[in-house]
Amino acid sequence: MARFAFRRLAAALLTVALVVSITFVLAHLAPGEPMLADAERFHVDPARVARVRAEFGLDRPLATQYAMYLGNAIRGNLGESFTMRRPAVALLLERFPHTALLAGAALLIAFAAGIAVALVQATRPGSWTDALLSGATLAFHSTPTFWLGLILLVVCAQWLGWLPVGGMTTPVEHQAMGAMGRMLDVGRHLVLPALTLALVQTAEIARYQRGALLDALGSEFVRAARAKGLAERAVLVRHALRSALAPVVTLAGMSVPALLAGSVLVESVFGWPGMGRLTRDAIVSRDYNLILAAAVASAVLVALGNLVADLAAHALDPRTTL
């Protein structure tokens, strides 16, 4: 176990280092300039641009900048945002809980829905229900996240008025609510963005789960369970599903990058104050330090996600090697 932990930690560090290096080079090679982000609105004073460049070390050779950045990063200093003049780490930490809540809720919905759909499909393989569910989930999977979000928003929030259009809380009224009221308020605001992210993921999970379930249902231990006279529901849930969950759980780890990428768009549509939107804004304004800090955070989250998925798969099926 200790060897496994060491191996994964080393791999995670290597991943983070690679991501930072590649992002650093790409961000700095991309044309554009942080100080010109508002050039059409404000007078651009060349002296001011030069001063800010010097202050942030942007006037030095790229290799020097890279070495300085790595040196600072190792000491835990990921620099200050150009646009907001605050430590990039503080800005990300402020937003991280929101993205974690959104991604976590989306993951839960996606897995619950994906497994439920797969259970229905696996018990009726080749039927109309199977084909219909495959088609429906595939349709959601093929829909651009941005567009799906807007459709859900217009239908569920604007036309039907069931859920809020955007944001994370109800303005003014949220402050007057009790603890339970506040939680429910956040929950109502969470439904649409989480559902948008989840619907895109559901198809993939359902597809994997359906295949794994069909394999399991054809295996000898399931035949043995049936021969013992167990009810079909018990066979399906207690035996086949438990065995078929392990490969699907690894999908959870692989879903983290997709959820982070999807959150960039979903957070913009629904005004959800998460890391994705912060990262998008940082890229638009060429806020290098914030872009790099977001890349570090994403790499760490992806590495963690994979680690957790491996451990969960091992817990579900001890035959899998760590």
Partner 1 sequence: MPRRAFSALLLLSLAACLGDRASRAPAGADGGTLVIAVPGDANILLPPVANQLAAHVTERLFPRLAELKLDLNTVDDSGFTPVLARSWEHRDSTTIVFHLDPRARWQDGVPITAADVVYTFELYRDPLTESPYRVNLDPIVSVTRLDSLTVAFAFRRWYPEQLYDATHHLLVMPRHLLDSIPHERLASSAFARDPVGAGPFRFAHWEPGTEIAVEADTGWFLGRPHLARIVWRTMPDVSASVSALLAGEADAMEFVPPPDEIERARKAPDLTLVPYPSPYLGGLIFNLRRPLFAGRELRRALAMAIDRETIVRSILGAYGEAPVGAATRMQWIAAGPVRQLPWDTAGAARLLDSLGWRRGADGVRQKAGRRLEFTVITPTTSRIRQGVAVLLQDQLRKAGAVIRIQPLELTVFDRRSHDGDFDALMFSRTLDPSPANLVQFWGSASVGGDNIGAYRSPAFDSLLAAAAAAATRAAAQPLWRAVLERLNDDAPAVFIYSPRNNAAIHQRFQHVTIRPDSWLATVATWSVAPDRRLPRDR
User: Site residues (CB under 8 A) for partner 1?
Assistant: 31-33, 36-48, 51-52, 80, 83-86, 91, 94-95, 98, 150, 153-154, 157-158, 161, 164-173, 268-271, 273-274, 277-278, 281, 284-286
Q: Residue 278 CB, nearest distance to partner 1 (Å)?
A: 7
Q: Residue 304 CB, nearest distance to partner 1 (Å)?
A: 23
Nearer to partner 1, 114 or 274 (CB): 274
Q: Is 309 helix (H, G, I), strand (E, B) or coil?
A: helix
Q: Is 191 helix (H, G, I), strand (E, B) or coil?
A: helix
Nearer to partner 1, 257 or 271 (CB): 271
Q: Residue 230 CB, nearest distance to partner 1 (Å)?
A: 51
Nearer to partner 1, 10 or 39 (CB): 39
Burial of 316 (0-12, 13-18, 19+ CB in 10 A): middle
Q: Residue 44 CB, nearest distance to partner 1 (Å)?
A: 6
**Tokens 């995670």, located at residue:** 12
Q: Residue 147 CB, nearest distance to partner 1 (Å)?
A: 11
187, amino acid identity: G
Cα–Cα distance list, 95 to 2, 88, 108, 171, 297 (Å):
33, 11, 20, 18, 11
Which string of b and e fits 189-216 if b means at least 16 CB within 10 Å?
A: bbbbbbbbbbbbbbbbbbbbbbbbbbeb
Nearer to partner 1, 74 or 172 (CB): 172
| Neighbour count for residue 305 (Cβ, 10 Å) | 20
Q: Residue 158 CB, nearest distance to partner 1 (Å)?
A: 5
Which string of b and e fits 232-254 if b means at least 16 CB within 10 Å?
A: eeebbeebbbebbbbbbbbbbbe
Nearer to partner 1, 9 or 30 (CB): 30
Nearer to partner 1, 44 or 183 (CB): 44
